[in-house]
Chain A
Amino acid sequence: GENVEQHPSTLSVQEGDSAVIKCTYSDSASNYFPWYKQELGKRPQLIIDIRSNVGEKKDQRIAVTLNKTAKHFSLHITETQPEDSAVYFCAAVRSGSARQLTFGSGTQLTVLP
C-alpha cells in the first residue's frame, strides 16, 4: 500500500516569512495529493490539492509543487499570518481506485507574531 512521510513534524516561523512542508510517497500510481489544515479541536479542511498532470498549483498565499519522478510534493505558504498556525497534513491516493487516502503524520506550524 501507499506510505506517506511528512517533514518536519514541527515548524515555527516569524509572521511574514514563508513556510515549506515536504512529503514523499511510495506508490508511483498515486495521482491525487491533497493538503489538509486542522486547527486545534477542529475538523481537517482541504486547503489545496494537486493532481499528477500538473507540477504546480497556486491559490493566493499557498502553493503546492509535485515532482512525480522523485515522488515528493511540497506545500508552500508565503507571507505567513498567525491564523496560519495549525497542523497540516499531506495525503496521497490513486483516485478512482479501491484504495484509500493515506495521510502523512502532520506538521504543527506555529507562526510567531
Chain B
Amino acid sequence: EAGVVQSPRYKIIEKKQPVAFWCNPISGHNTLYWYLQNLGQGPELLIRYENEEAVDDSQLPKDRFSAERLKGVDSTLKIQPAELGDSAVYLCASSLGSGRANTGELFFGEGSRLTVL
C-alpha cells in the first residue's frame, strides 16, 4: 500500500513568488493534515481536514496561505506571496477516521522542503 505522497520534494523560489504543494493521503484516510516543520523543531499544525471540510485552520496564516481538499482526497497548500520566513518543510499527514472515530495515529509524507531566497 502506498503511503502519503507529496510533491514536490524540494522547491526553491524567490520571495514574493507563489508556490503550491500537493498531497495524496493514504487511501481511505478521512482526515488530512498540513504541518509546518522548521529546522530542529517539532511539526506545527497549519490546517486539518475531515473529508473535504477544514475543521481546524486556526494556525493557518490566511493572508498568504490557502489550502483546499475539494473532493475529500488530494489536497493542495498554496503560499502567495512567499516570504523569507516561509522557508521550512511542509509535511502532509493523514489518519484513519474522523471526529470521534479518529484514531489519532498520523502517517506522514516525506515533506516538501521550501527555500525562499
- Do A and B pair up? The answer is yes
Using CB atoms and an 8 Å cutoff, list the residues of chain A in contact with chain B. Answer: 6, 32, 34, 36, 42-46, 49, 89, 91, 93, 95-98, 100-101, 103-106, 108
**B91 cross-chain contacts in A, Cβ below 8 A:** 43-44
| Docked complex Cα distance between A31 and B81 (Å) | 39
B contacts with A, residue count (CB < 8 A)? 25
Task: Considering the complex, give the chain A residue whose CB is closest to the CB of B40.
Answer: A106
| Docked complex Cα distance between A45 and B41 (Å) | 15
CB distance from A39 to the nearest CB of B (A): 11
Kindly state whether residue B21 has any CB partner on chain A within 8 Å.
no
Task: Given A43-B91, A98-B56, check contact A103 B102 (CB 8 Å).
Answer: no
Question: Which 10 interchain pairs have the tightest Cβ spacing?
Answer: A103-B42, A95-B104, A96-B100, A43-B108, A32-B104, A100-B45, A43-B110, A44-B108, A89-B42, A106-B42
| B109 & A89 in contact (Cβ 8 Å cutoff) | no
Kindly state whether residue B111 has any CB partner on chain A within 8 Å.
yes
